[in-house]
Amino acid sequence: MVKRFFSAFRAMLKSLLGHTWLLPSPSLSSSVSPPSAFMALFGAQKDKAEMRIHENLDELRTDLADYIAQLSEMSVKERGVFAIALSGGSLIGLMGKLCEAPYNKTVDWAKWYIFWADERVVGKSHADSNYKLAKDGLLSKVPIVPSHVHSINDSVSAEQAASDYEFVIRQLVRTRVINVSEINDCPKFDLILLGMGPDGHVASLFPNHSVLDENNEWVTFLTDSPKPPPERITFTLPVINSASNVAVVVTGGSKSEAVHLALDDVGPACPSLPARMVRPTKGKLVWFLEKAASSKLDSAQFSE
């Protein structure tokens, strides 16, 4: 039985520039030695997680659009392309300002390559499809190149869909449409966008599920998702943690407890929350929080 007892980010938080907060580097609990796979994931954690807490959704939407547009510009300048992985849920709606002025004109959409950090194994026109959600809410409203949109094959099993998707990603790593990690041979996406469920799940990595232990595959599958639909594919933790940038976007008071458990120093009794395992090895991690979602953070007392 693998135990994932990590002492969190330290309780002390430093206030910078209004609503932007920086968390000191997380450290491992000295009382429990984690297995080496997790050392590799979380051991030498030098990067800082940044928290951006917003008074309201409108402010958050503007900041998120700015952030994505800036990363796109940087990435296109450095690599000629922007490889971005989306998720489902409320995230696409929160990205909506990208379809409006000025972003709809200023973003270099032709250089975007779109992927999904997780997908439901349903038809592309099904209401549960993350592809459909993104197509309706974003991709159909901006000049994305259709051949740059990499969605799953919806006519095969979850297992086959995961393995096909990994194959596609492997080809694009080979041609450097997606960069590659210097540490492992994992794809290094320019940006992976994640939401978080009230149970602390990210992508389709659910609490206590064996998908959390998948360290060999880039894309894995599950047929027993605790949240319907049951069949899904998902990026694994090594892929998420190899990205250049990861953003976790959380709104709503119903997620405030999970935000607390994911970010605060909750001591050795800390549950193995998937959101807590999102710790890019070299990349940058930003949490976008609506105020209600941040209300149970230890730091909430300082943000008044």
Binding site for ligand NAG (CB under 6 A): 78-79, 100-101, 104-105, 153, 155-156, 179-182, 188, 199, 207-208, 271
Closer CB to ligand NAG, 151 or 303, in the complex: 151
DSSP tag of 89: T
- DSSP letter string over 12-69? --EEETTTEEEEPPP---SSS---HHHHHHHSS--SPEEEEEESSHHHHHHHHHHHHH
Positive or negative: CA dihedral 266, 272, 273, 277 = positive
Q: Which residues contact 242 (CB under 8 A, 6 or more apart)?
A: 181, 183, 184, 186, 187, 188, 189, 280, 281, 282, 283
How far lies 81's CA from each of 78, 115, 140, in Å?
A: 8, 13, 19
Q: How far is the CB of 59 from ligand NAG (least distance, A)?
A: 18
Closer CB to ligand NAG, 14 or 77, in the complex: 77
Q: How far is the CB of 242 from ligand NAG (least distance, A)?
A: 9
Residue that is written with structure tokens 């409203």 in the block: 141
Q: How far is the CB of 142 from ligand NAG (least distance, A)?
A: 7
Closer CB to ligand NAG, 10 or 141, in the complex: 141
Q: How far is the CB of 188 from ligand NAG (least distance, A)?
A: 5
Closer CB to ligand NAG, 58 or 78, in the complex: 78
Q: Which tokens sit at 18?
A: 């209004």
Q: How far is the CB of 72 from ligand NAG (least distance, A)?
A: 13
Q: How far is the CB of 3 from ligand NAG (least distance, A)?
A: 10
The CA distance from 223 to 225, in Å, is: 6
Closer CB to ligand NAG, 10 or 124, in the complex: 124
Closer CB to ligand NAG, 272 or 300, in the complex: 272
The CA distance from 28 to 175, in Å, is: 37
